[in-house]
Amino acid sequence: MNETFNTKGTARAAVPSPLIESNRVEGTAVFDPSGKHIGSIKRLVIEKMSGRVVYTVASFGGFLGLGGNDYTIPWNKLTYDVSLGGYQTDITESQLKGSPPFSQDPGWDYADREHERALNDYYDAPYYWR
């Protein structure tokens, strides 16, 4: 898995890179606290001005029996784990199922601050804005 992150067809030393290209984040695994593979990242949601990743859209379908829905979750609910080669989260299946519907809506309007407030409140995540 590390090789996938570190090289792009080259044969350099397999030192784990702290960096990853956005087009390679898609598909990165998400694990639960016990290290079980529960989903994967589909895309990142970035604050344009600062360049900070504030949310991720992740797919948990097929792992939790959630029917393949995508869920928008606050970025800080994910922790990158080098040994797992992916992100770990403490979000539970029931939390995902009960999350605000717009977080599963591919047409979600990111300009709606009230929606964002509800999402961050739901996951007890700090607002990324002032």
Answer yes or no whether residue 97 interacts with its own copies by CB under 8 A.
no
d(CA 86, CA 36): 11
Interface pattern 21-40 for its own copies (x via CB under 8 A)? xxx-xx--------------
CB of 112 to its own copies, least distance (A): 8
Geometric angle at alpha carbon 74, from 62 and 126, rounded to 5°: 150
Is the Cβ–Cβ distance between 76 and 85 less than 8 Å? no
Answer yes or no whether residue 43 interacts with its own copies by CB under 8 A.
yes
Q: Which of 32, 47, 93, 97 binds its own copies (CB under 8 A)?
A: 47
Residue 125, class by beta-carbon neighbours within 10 Å (0-12 exposed, 13-18 middle, 19+ buried)? middle
Classify the phi-psi angles of 81: left when phi > 0, otherwise alpha if psi is within -120 to 50, otherwise beta: beta
Q: Which of 1, 4, 20, 33 binds its own copies (CB under 8 A)?
A: 20
Answer yes or no whether residue 111 interacts with its own copies by CB under 8 A.
yes
Q: Which is nearer to its own copies, 10 or 94 (CB)?
A: 10
Amino acid symbol at 43: R
* Residue 114, C-beta contacts closer than 8 angstroms, at least 6 positions apart: none
CB of 41 to its own copies, least distance (A): 9
Task: Note the residues at the interface with its own copies (CB under 8 A).
Answer: 5-10, 12-13, 15-23, 25-26, 43-49, 51-55, 57, 75, 80, 106-112, 129
